[in-house]
Amino acid sequence: MKKIFLFSIHILVCFLTTTCQTPGENIVPERKQTDRTILVYGNGLEKSFISYVIALTGKEKPKVTFFPTAAADNPLASKIWSSLVADLPLEPEVVLTFINSSPDQKTFAEQILTSDAIIVGGGNTLNMIAIWKAQGIDTLLRAAYEKGIVLAGGSAGSLCWFTGGYSDSRPQKLSVIECLGFLNYSHCPHYNEPERKRLYTEAIKEGILKPGYACENGAGLLFINERMVKSLSLSPDNNNYFVTTRDEKLVEEKLKAEILKTRARY
């Protein structure tokens, strides 16, 4: 029971963060429906970022599909998702991969390619990508990306879209993993964690990882057609960075962020 309780607490930390900001609106950048679009953020499922994803679709009630794969399809993750989006203007769907075949089920292609947006939750990034590749989901996600379906996520759900970075997906310590590479940069979520930040910056300095983008918890970045177009944050204390090298020295550029409100629109 203790292990189950601790895992549940981990899921809550990874998937559920809340904000007490004054309600308001953020204007999202204009985008063509075919523009390749990814929104990433440092941690958890956060209502303000979900609202931003909804606005990015340009639809009044988009179909937004949630992947709890990194949490091994834990029912708690889906329950938190359902509770969090209950009052948002979207049509929610959940894609489960730990399944038994049934004629009544939709195919992964039907679930993914009919979505307006896809949000990926936190957990074990390495296992998630391995499952996606085994099921052909990685190929479908690439097709969704090229089609203009908005991709998003935090923690494992942000790291997966980049070339790679450090993850706690293996026993004992953080290690470098290879990801999907939709964005040709490395990435570090949870950048406010000292050990994760240290390993990430050292790896870039030593050429182990490509230059890339780092998001602290509560901060996020919007990419359109593989270009970072907006830095976002839930408060002035949550920051994003671009980390690279110049003349063999590490350079950490803090990116000025727009503070997110509860709602977002065009």
Q: How far is CA 264 from CA 88, 132, 168, in A?
A: 11, 31, 32
Closest CA to 96 of 128, 126, 125: 128
**Would you say residue 24 lies in a domain?**
no
Closest CA to 219 of 251, 265, 188, 250: 188
Q: How far is CA 123 from CA 157, 169, 182, 205, in A?
A: 8, 8, 20, 27
Query: Could you give the CA distance from residue 246 to residue 214 in angstroms, rounded to a whole number?
Result: 17
Residue type, 133: K
* 84, 51 Cβ separation under 8 angstroms: no
Per-residue exposure over 56-69, b if at least 16 CB sit within 10 Å of its own CB, e if not:
bbbbeebbbbbbbb
The H or E element spanning position 141 is: helix 137-147
Q: What is the pTM of this model?
A: 0.90
**Would you say residue 5 lies in a domain?**
no
Query: Could you give the CA distance from residue 36 to residue 52 in angstroms, rounded to a whole number?
Result: 16
- Given this model, what pLDDT does residue 182 score? 98
**Would you say residue 8 lies in a domain?**
no
- Digit-coded pLDDT (tens) for 203-220: 999 999 999 999 999 999
**Would you say residue 17 lies in a domain?**
no
Query: Could you give the CA distance from residue 177 to residue 105 in angstroms, rounded to a whole number?
Result: 32
Per-residue pLDDT, averaged over 144-158, amounts to 98
**Would you say residue 226 lies in a domain?**
yes
* 159, 169 Cβ separation under 8 angstroms: no
- Given this model, what pLDDT does residue 4 score? 37
Number of domains in the chain: 1
Per-residue pLDDT, averaged over 114-143, amounts to 98
Per-residue pLDDT, averaged over 142-161, amounts to 98
**Would you say residue 18 lies in a domain?**
no
* 219, 231 Cβ separation under 8 angstroms: yes
- Given this model, what pLDDT does residue 65 score? 98
Predicted confidence (pLDDT) at residue 160 exceeds the cutoff of 80? yes
Percentage of the chain exceeding pLDDT 70? 89
- Given this model, what pLDDT does residue 250 score? 97
The H or E element spanning position 49 is: helix 47-57
Query: Could you give the CA distance from residue 128 to residue 180 in angstroms, rounded to a whole number?
Result: 11
Q: What's 148's DSSP letter? A: T
Closest CA to 209 of 229, 188, 228, 239: 188
Percentage of the chain exceeding pLDDT 90? 83
Per-residue pLDDT, averaged over 100-127, amounts to 96
Higher per-residue confidence, 106 vs 4:
106
**Would you say residue 123 lies in a domain?**
yes
User: What is the pLDDT of the chain when averaged over all its residues?
Assistant: 90
- pLDDT band of 55, cuts 50, 70, 90: very high
Higher per-residue confidence, 30 vs 80:
80
Query: Could you give the CA distance from residue 50 to residue 54 in angstroms, rounded to a whole number?
Result: 6
- Digit-coded pLDDT (tens) for 85-100: 999 999 999 999 999 9
Predicted confidence (pLDDT) at residue 11 exceeds the cutoff of 90? no
- Given this model, what pLDDT does residue 24 score? 54
Range of the domain at 220: 34-265
Question: Any idea what the CATH number is for the domain that residue 65 is in?
Answer: 3.40.50.880
Per-residue pLDDT, averaged over 190-200, amounts to 97
Q: What spatial distance separates the first Cα and last Cα of the chain, rounded to whole Å?
A: 47
Predicted confidence (pLDDT) at residue 45 exceeds the cutoff of 70? yes
- pLDDT band of 38, cuts 50, 70, 90: very high
Per-residue pLDDT, averaged over 95-112, amounts to 95
Predicted confidence (pLDDT) at residue 44 exceeds the cutoff of 70? yes
- Given this model, what pLDDT does residue 1 score? 39
The contacts of residue 101 (CB under 8 Å, 6+ apart) are none
- Given this model, what pLDDT does residue 5 score? 34
- Digit-coded pLDDT (tens) for 67-80: 999 999 999 999 99
**Would you say residue 11 lies in a domain?**
no
